[in-house]
């Protein structure tokens, strides 16, 4: 969104936007035609309809707050979910911070979490249009902390050591777009804005510093003494957050599972200490296969699952843990292994024939057998009619195809 469009929305579009009916894509053209016939500027109509669409999508992340917010497409996609923003804010509040500088504040999603925690936010964003929308979102939803958002460079911010700093670097490549017109994502630390060296330099100067990074953040890059926290929300892996100084709860790698309506589950490196070596348990019919939450997997803490269920990872790096008992843990799903088959089309086809099945859900983690190629060779439909789950993976003795049954 350009600055002129943002100002047009703020000056003339809010009342029109609030008066629109519930957004329905099928009715957008009709609504737009009506607004233009009423004499409204076509650019204003386009901007208002875009906001109506984005507000409808924004309810997934922000709930009813989305109905008072303004968005950009890229900004909404990267914006932190409300529950996750509140999780971030709780760290700053627990550390006694009363002022936090949100450097690269985007649309203000994390700033709003800090405001809900009673913390005053000083937000800046290098993009003027985004800063204008963030200021609107804060002004609309702030309940008295005196928080603000304005155009500015993170490099020019001057927090003092008793304040906190939060970074949510843009992870998109300016000037490069995909087929939908959105700027392309980047997962390289050196492509972030604000830049990675600034994050590290700030953390060295300001003790209470945190940063939201991609869940693909390489664990080997975790700075000494910091905490790298992979976070999942309702089963979706959403980020890796880095924490320094008083914001560190567990130095090193952790996984946090945020579950709506339930307490968070935290898994740390201490929980993985003493886990048995991968491949030390055979996979056989009747075994229980435990599938860790993606945050646990990305944090490299599969050993914590192995310890919890008295099992072992089926092979190095595969993530799945096999055991002989149905131990239930809050950070993994369980499956019973009904059959262990060779990982080839002939063996799977013979099993399908014996079982009288005509449809499969095929998953893969490891091995060279491609699920879609296997489906074609088995003569199975592309989708629908699935009657069993087949996992293509690697066990201690090599590639296998496991027939799985869910365990509740």
Provide the sign of the torsion angle of the four alpha carbons 43, 7, 156, 200, taken in this order: negative
Q: What is the pLDDT of residue 191?
A: 82
* Same domain flag for 64 and 170: no
Closest CA to 123 of 76, 161, 157: 157
What stretch of H or E contains 407?
strand 398-407
CA distance 135 to 143: 14
Domain contains 87: yes
Closest CA to 3 of 80, 105, 72: 72
Phi–psi pair at 387, nearest 5 degrees: -120, -5
Entry pTM: 0.91
DSSP conformation class of 96: T
Closest CA to 68 of 81, 51, 84, 82: 51
Q: Rounded to 5 degrees, what angle do the CA atoms 259, 112, 47 make?
A: 105
CA distance 67 to 183: 25
Which of 17, 43, 71 is where one domain is finished? Answer: 71
* Same domain flag for 83 and 54: no
* Same domain flag for 54 and 145: no
267: helix, strand or coil: strand
DSSP conformation class of 193: B
* Same domain flag for 329 and 397: yes
* Same domain flag for 99 and 65: no
* Same domain flag for 112 and 26: no
Which residues, in sequence order, are bridge partners of residue 123?
Answer: 102, 149
Helices (H), 248-391: 269-272, 294-298, 302-309, 345-355, 371-378
Task: Considering only CA atoms, give the Rg of the chain.
Answer: 25
268: helix, strand or coil: strand
Domain contains 273: no
Domain contains 396: yes
What stretch of H or E contains 368?
none
Q: What is the pLDDT of residue 386?
A: 80
Indicate the Cα dihedral angle 175, 180, 185, 191, nearest 10°.
0
Measured CA distances, 386 to 197, 254, 383 (Å): 49, 36, 8
CA distance 259 to 83: 9
> Residue 131: which CATH number?
3.40.50.150
* Same domain flag for 298 and 173: no
Which residues, in sequence order, are bridge partners of residue 392?
Answer: 364, 401
Measured CA distances, 369 to 180, 200, 287, 297 (Å): 32, 42, 23, 22
CA distance 73 to 172: 12
381: helix, strand or coil: coil
CA distance 263 to 397: 39
Q: What is the pLDDT of residue 181?
A: 54
Residue 226 belongs to what domain range? 76-263
Measured CA distances, 79 to 62, 107, 108, 316 (Å): 10, 7, 8, 34
Domain contains 274: no
Closest CA to 172 of 192, 154, 189: 192
What stretch of H or E contains 224?
none
Domain contains 279: no
Q: How many domains does the chain have?
A: 3
Two tokens, residue 307: 């310890």
Domain contains 194: yes
* Same domain flag for 239 and 330: no
* Same domain flag for 174 and 153: yes
pLDDT along the chain (408 residues), means of 10: 94 94 94 95 96 97 96 95 98 98 97 97 97 97 92 96 94 52 63 90 97 94 96 97 98 96 96 94 96 97 96 96 94 96 96 92 93 92 82 94 92
Closest CA to 227 of 205, 195, 249: 249
Phi–psi pair at 262, nearest 5 degrees: -140, 160
* Same domain flag for 24 and 152: no
Q: What is the pLDDT of residue 93?
A: 98
* Same domain flag for 37 and 95: no
Domain contains 312: yes
* Same domain flag for 45 and 85: no
CA distance 315 to 310: 15
Two tokens, residue 249: 């709860």
CA atoms within 13 A on the CB side of 273: 5
Please check whether residue 260 is in contact with residue 295, taking contact to mean a CB–CB distance below 8 angstroms: no
Domain contains 269: no
């Amino acid at each position: 969104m350009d600055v002129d469009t943002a100002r047009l929305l703020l000056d003339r579009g809010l009342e029109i936007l609030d008066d629109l009916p519930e957004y329905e894509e099928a009715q957008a053209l009709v609504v737009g035609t009506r607004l233009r016939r009423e004499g409204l500027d076509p650019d204003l109509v386009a901007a208002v309809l875009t906001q109506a669409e984005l507000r409808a999508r924004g309810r997934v992340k922000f709930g009813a707050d989305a109905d008072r917010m303004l968005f950009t497409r890229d900004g909404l996609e990267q914006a932190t979910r409300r529950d996750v923003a509140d999780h971030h804010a709780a760290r700053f509040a627990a550390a006694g911070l009363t002022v936090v500088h949100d450097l690269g504040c985007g649309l203000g999603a994390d700033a709003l979490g800090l405001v809900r925690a009673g913390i005053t936010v000083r937000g800046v964003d290098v993009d003027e249009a985004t800063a204008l929308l963030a200021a609107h979102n804060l002004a609309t939803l702030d309940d008295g902390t005196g928080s603000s958002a304005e155009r500015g460079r993170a490099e020019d911010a001057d927090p003092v050591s008793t304040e906190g700093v939060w970074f949510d670097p843009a992870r998109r490549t300016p000037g490069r777009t995909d087929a939908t017109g959105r700027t392309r994502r980047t997962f390289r630390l050196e492509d972030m804005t604000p830049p990675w060296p600034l994050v590290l330099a700030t953390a060295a100067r300001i003790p209470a510093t945190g940063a939201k990074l991609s869940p693909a953040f390489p664990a080997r890059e975790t700075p000494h003494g910091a905490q790298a926290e992979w976070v999942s929300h309702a089963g979706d892996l959403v980020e890796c957050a880095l924490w320094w100084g008083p914001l560190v709860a567990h130095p090193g790698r952790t996984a946090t599972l945020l579950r709506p309506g339930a307490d968070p589950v935290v898994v740390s490196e201490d929980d993985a200490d003493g886990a048995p070596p991968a491949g030390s348990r055979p996979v056989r019919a009747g075994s229980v296969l435990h599938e860790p939450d993606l945050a646990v997997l990305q944090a490299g803490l599969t050993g914590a699952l192995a310890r919890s269920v008295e099992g072992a990872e089926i092979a190095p790096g595969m993530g799945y843990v096999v055991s002989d008992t149905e131990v239930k843990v809050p950070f993994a799903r369980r499956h019973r292994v009904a059959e262990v088959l060779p990982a080839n089309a002939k063996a799977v086809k013979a099993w399908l024939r014996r079982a009288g099945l005509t449809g499969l859900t095929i998953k893969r983690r490891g091995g060279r057998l491609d699920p879609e190629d296997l489906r074609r060779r088995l003569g199975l439909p592309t989708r629908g009619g699935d009657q069993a789950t087949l996992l293509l993976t690697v066990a201690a003795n090599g590639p296998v195809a496991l027939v799985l049954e869910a365990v509740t």
